[in-house]
């Protein structure tokens, strides 16, 4: 499916395409050729989760997928820095402990949410 057709169908809330886009493997379901490698897709998903304030459990799944695709902890932390200008200081500071927990790191002296928790 070409990019313009994909975007048109998403904008029109085409049920099949939307369902495919939010599935774990959107390439298979919608027969959409995503011109990104698996590591990049995993890093972008992590960035989106951090940007919207997703729970630690969701971030952990994204971290595991990114690691499986070859991303290291430095790259995973760099994702947080990359989204900083887009999300602002408050969201950046809020996301840091969730990412730390997803990476199985403890941050001493910082209140962190419990596993699966979502901070306001």
Confidence class for position 113, pLDDT limits 50, 70, 90 = low
Distance CA 19, CA 77 (A): 30
C-beta contacts of 112-119 below 8 A and 24+ residues apart: 113/55, 113/56, 114/56, 115/56, 115/57, 116/55, 116/56, 116/57, 117/55, 117/56, 118/53, 118/54, 118/55, 119/53, 119/94
1: CB partners within 8 A, 6+ apart: 9, 17, 30, 31, 32, 33
Distance CA 80, CA 27 (A): 26
Question: What does the pLDDT look like over 16-54, one tens digit per residue?
Answer: 887 777 776 544 444 556 688 999 999 999 999 999 998
The model carries a pTM of 0.70
Task: Report yes or no: 37 and 27 within 8 Å, Cβ to Cβ.
Answer: no
Question: What does the pLDDT look like over 67-86, one tens digit per residue?
Answer: 999 999 999 999 999 999 98
The domain spans of the chain are 1-35, 36-120
Task: Report yes or no: 46 and 63 within 8 Å, Cβ to Cβ.
Answer: yes
80 vs 106, higher pLDDT? 80
Q: What percentage of the chain carries pLDDT values higher than 70?
A: 81
23: CB partners within 8 A, 6+ apart: 29
């Amino acid at each position: 499916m070409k990019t313009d057709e994909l975007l048109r169908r998403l904008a029109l809330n085409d049920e099949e395409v939307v369902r495919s886009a939010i599935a774990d493997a959107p390439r298979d379901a919608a027969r959409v050729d995503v011109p990104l490698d698996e590591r990049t897709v995993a890093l972008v998903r992590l960035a989106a989760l951090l940007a919207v304030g997703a729970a630690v459990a969701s971030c952990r799944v994204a971290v595991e997928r990114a690691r499986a695709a070859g991303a290291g902890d430095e790259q995973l932390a760099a994702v947080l820095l990359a989204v900083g200008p887009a999300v602002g200081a408050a969201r950046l500071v809020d996301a840091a402990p969730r990412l730390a927990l997803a990476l199985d790191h403890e941050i001493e002296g910082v209140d962190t949410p419990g596993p699966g928790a979502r901070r306001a």
